[in-house]
Amino acid sequence: MMKKINSKYFLTALLLLVPLAAQAKSADSGDTAWMLTSTALVLFMTLPGLALFYGGLVRGKNVLSVLMQCFAIACAVSIVWVVYGYSLAFGDGGSMNAWIGGLHNVFLVNVAHDSLTGSLPESVFIMFQMTFAIITPALIIGGFAERVKFSAMLVFSILWLTVVYIPVCHWVWGGGWLADKGLLDFAGGTVVHITAGVSAVICAIVIGERKGFPATPMMPHNMTMTVTGAGMLWVGWFGFNAGSALAANTDAGMAMLVTHISAACGAMTWSFLEWYKYGKPSALGLVTGMVAGLGTITPASGFVGPAAAMFIGMSAGIICFFATGFIKQSLKIDDSLDVFPVHGVGGMLGTFLAGIFVASSLGGTGLANGVSIGSQVTVQLTGILATAIWAGIATFVLLKIVDAIIGLRVSSEAETEGLDISEHDERGYIL
């Protein structure tokens, strides 16, 4: 009788476990829905957000070239990501895993309809990470706008993605050596902003300044377009930061809140500084401060609280404001659209401050067991320096290679005429 009862209960328990096992192997619908939305928001940051933001900042004769560059990068990077980018960034690199992933998943050969990454379909995770890979080289456009050949831009962007972005992405998010050290980079302070910012200023130095810089004013031709693009960036950034939680959970909620707070504080701080220094606040200053606040909170967004976000946003407004003036006015470097002082400096600042404000005593999520603020800050500084050095050296070498093969700059006549006509035989405006 005892054996029969045990068998009966065993069979009942087994039948109850079957649906639980099936459920464990399926994606979470709530997380998936949020990540599909976040993916669309991050792509929205590049197309059309960054394209319009940058497009309005250049002169009218070059507006179409900037839109074209953003669009082409989105297409080229998408292809590279499928062919080998995702595999190298997030695959297992075996004995080389500290530095780079493997090629076992080229062309996404191992990705099936039911493949999972955590609670998400792997296809959604791949697409989400692809949008990060798209916007990062697109940010660099601001460092060499209005003077680079379209062909050189395209070749450089593909090489840069392969040599700079993919390895750093693996170091930080793919299980590489910085991940092993415990680097805190929730949404891309090192992977996105430092790599793009440092590379942009190297591009500006190697390629040289635009004709007439700095004596000739080169004002934005359409601030309406720029402010519209800035608004799209702000909204899209919620997918960028809150989406990096990879789930619809409390981390995503707090990341969204602190992202918004930092953007608002960065914008107002920059605007007040400009108001004090020049007598009037400008739309350009307001939106640039917003982007500085967004870029600076990015690495810390999943680790800090609202009060820290206010401090981070105000710090971004102050430090990035003075960094912008120093780069252009003191060093005379024509980083055309201020990529390094806003994204590069902001990414460094945010990555550093994440190591401080993560402490639970300061309202953060808390340090790992046995880790002090000092030791965490040391890891953060290591990540900042390693990323900046690698991005800088690799970018310099890639530029020299591209210049030797096809040349980087358009001719003096083509630059005077404008890239819209000389590179694409089209006009941004028919007036």
Mean pLDDT of 310-339: 96
- Check whether 4 has a pLDDT greater than 60: no
Give the pLDDT of residue 1: 42
pLDDT averaged over the chain?
A: 94
DSSP state letter for 215 = T
In angstroms, the CA 237 to CA 298 distance is 9
The angle at the Cα of 24, spanning 18 to 25, to the nearest 5 degrees, equals: 100
In angstroms, the CA 90 to CA 404 distance is 32
Alpha helices in 214-249 (DSSP H): 223-242
How does residue 7 score in pLDDT terms, banded at 50, 70 and 90?
low
The angle at the Cα of 180, spanning 190 to 94, to the nearest 5 degrees, equals: 105
Q: Which of 73, 76, 80 is nearest to 51 (CA)?
A: 73
Give the pLDDT of residue 8: 56
How does residue 24 score in pLDDT terms, banded at 50, 70 and 90?
low
Which helix H or strand E contains 198, and what residues bound it? helix 195-207
Which helix H or strand E contains 120, and what residues bound it? strand 120-121
List, for residues 91-126, the tens digit of each pLDDT value: 999 999 999 999 999 999 999 999 999 999 999 999
**SS3 for 247?**
coil
Which residue in the block uniquely carries the two structure tokens 């707090």? 254
269 CB-contact burial (10 Å; exposed 0-12 / middle 13-18 / buried 19+): buried
Give the pLDDT of residue 25: 72
Q: Which residues contact 267 (CB under 8 A, 6 or more apart)?
A: 286, 287, 289, 290, 293, 317
List, for residues 145-186, the tens digit of each pLDDT value: 999 999 999 999 999 999 999 999 999 999 999 999 999 999
Percent of the chain with pLDDT over 70: 94
Q: Is the peptide bond before 214 cis (omega within 30 degrees of 0)?
A: yes
Give the pLDDT of residue 23: 47
Give the pLDDT of residue 336: 94
Q: Which of 310, 86, 303, 100 is nearest to 187 (CA)?
A: 303
The answer to whether the beta carbons of residues 354 and 300 sit under 8 Å apart is yes
Give the pLDDT of residue 213: 94
Give the pLDDT of residue 276: 96
Cα distances (Å, whole numbers) of residue 201 to 33, 55, 356, 376, 392: 38, 19, 28, 28, 9
The CATH superfamily of 49-424 is: Ammonium transporter AmtB like domains (1.10.3430.10)
Strand partners, 120: 117
- Check whether 329 has a pLDDT greater than 80: yes
Q: Which of 155, 165, 93 is nearest to 131 (CA)?
A: 165
Give the pLDDT of residue 430: 85
Two tokens, residue 392: 């800088």
Weakest mean pLDDT among 13-17, 114-118, 176-180, 267-271? 13-17
- Check whether 232 has a pLDDT greater than 80: yes
Which one has a higher pLDDT value, 6 or 237?
A: 237
Segments making up each domain of the chain, as ranges = 49-424
Two tokens, residue 47: 């197309």
List, for residues 355-391, the tens digit of each pLDDT value: 999 999 999 999 999 999 999 999 999 999 999 999 9
